[in-house]
Amino acid sequence: MAISRRTFLTSGGMAALALAVCGGAWRYHHPAPASAFVLTDQARAALDAIVPAMLAGASTDQAAIAVTTQGVVAAIRGLPLSAQQEIQGLFSLLALGPVRRLLAGVPGSWAEATPAQMHDFLQSWRLHRLADLRVAYAALHDLILGAWYAEPSSWAAIGYPGPLQVLAQ
């Protein structure tokens, strides 16, 4: 069955229109927050999958990972509002199934992602040809590792004794 050029272009135009309408409807029902960063359930699921993958080799302790996740949220809330909104948008994108499948390579939910899938996802974003994905990886990397190293319980893993104690006299 041969498809004419006109049919192909018409089909493509209709698909683009359908995507635009669906995206607009989704944005209408899920408006971007005008306030500080909010950790939604979908964002928490993504973060709970990304943090252990980013800390692979440093920690597998669930309590340390949970503390790091809370540190990431605290660090995000300390950023300017515009940066918080950009990160909120990143997590909103990662929450969408088709985006998660196409951009992250994770076919199921974040909770079902294997360590290999998470490693491949992070490496693909780290080395991606699109600068936006490299920037998103760098933001996740800096937030997660910053929260990890800011936590005193992780200092022993890197041999850091902690800040010097001032001698009181």
Buried b (16+ CB within 10 A) or exposed e, 88-105: bebbbebbeeeebeebbe
Give the per-residue pLDDT at 6.
87
- Looking at residue 124, its pLDDT comes to 93
- What pLDDT does residue 33 have? 53
Q: How many CA atoms lie within 13 A of 152 on its CB side?
A: 3
pLDDT at position 59 is: 67
> How much is the pLDDT for 28?
73
In angstroms, the CA 95 to CA 88 distance is 11
Tokens of 3: 């498809």
Tell me how long the chain is: 169
CA 52-124-15 angle, to 5 degrees, is 115
pLDDT at residue 158 in the model: 80
pLDDT digits (tens, 9 = 90+) for 131-163: 999 999 999 999 999 999 888 888 887 888 888
Predicted TM-score (pTM) of the model is: 0.73
Which of 46, 138, 141, 29 lies closest to 91 in space, CA to CA? 46
Weakly modelled stretches of the chain, pLDDT under 70: 1, 31-35, 59-60, 167-169
- pLDDT at site 153: 83
Q: What is the pLDDT of residue 134?
A: 94
